[in-house]
Amino acid sequence: MGHELRGSQIYNYTRICMHQRSLIKFCKECGQAVSYRIPDDGDTKSRAICSVCHTVHYENPLMVVGTLPVWQGRVLLCKRNIEPRKGKWTLPAGFMELNETAAEGAARETVEEAGAQFEMQDLLSVLSVARVGQVHLYFRAALTSDQFNPGFETQEAQLFDEKDIPWDELAFTTVKLTLQCFFADRAKGVQNVHHLNVS
């Protein structure tokens, strides 16, 4: 029989989960209530398990994919028109969809958010954001035009020289770190893939 979470374990587990995401309450297969416990199959993590049909519901990190587009040495940033961080600057990125590769998702987000024309290049950064259950992947992209047609999620799309990047107005830590990696690589004349953990 599996091990039930008890007492302070339940409190701590629930507190951690609520900080990261909404807890599963009902089974996606039969609609009955679920409870969190360690499955009987040798798993070591607590899972949402249906109390009736015993389906185990696994929750996995979400993938955020985007690009760092460049035109003649300048970087393209988008001013967000949606929450969170509406009015802040970001790289074009969003959640990866089913049935697309990471690069395809990054390209789609770049078209949707910036209306940019570009050629996809290699992977630039992999950022693990464990506290919110996300992994962010950013690819280099070479813009083929400096004309943009942003979608509704973007107030404006603008090119920035390194010295003009609005560092204090960036929407997310992952964007800031990716930009820093890009500029550091450029100064050294290299193109590395950066693996970072974001607290």
Statement: residue 131 has pLDDT above 60: yes
pTM (2 d.p.): 0.82
- Res 87: pLDDT: 98
Q: Domains, the chain, ranges and CATH?
A: 7-57 (2.20.70.10), 62-197 (3.90.79.10)
Average pLDDT value for the chain: 90
Q: Residue 78 to residues 50, 52, 65, 135, 144: CA-CA distances in angstroms?
A: 43, 48, 15, 20, 17
Statement: residue 174 has pLDDT above 60: yes
18: pLDDT confidence band, cut at 50, 70 and 90? very low
21: pLDDT confidence band, cut at 50, 70 and 90? low
- Res 22: pLDDT: 77
Statement: residue 147 has pLDDT above 70: yes
pLDDT tens sequence across 62-89: 999 999 999 999 999 999 999 999 999 9
Average pLDDT score over residue span 157-185: 98
Q: Residue 55 to residues 23, 50, 169, 173: CA-CA distances in angstroms?
A: 16, 5, 45, 37
- Res 11: pLDDT: 32
- Res 8: pLDDT: 36
Average pLDDT score over residue span 90-98: 97
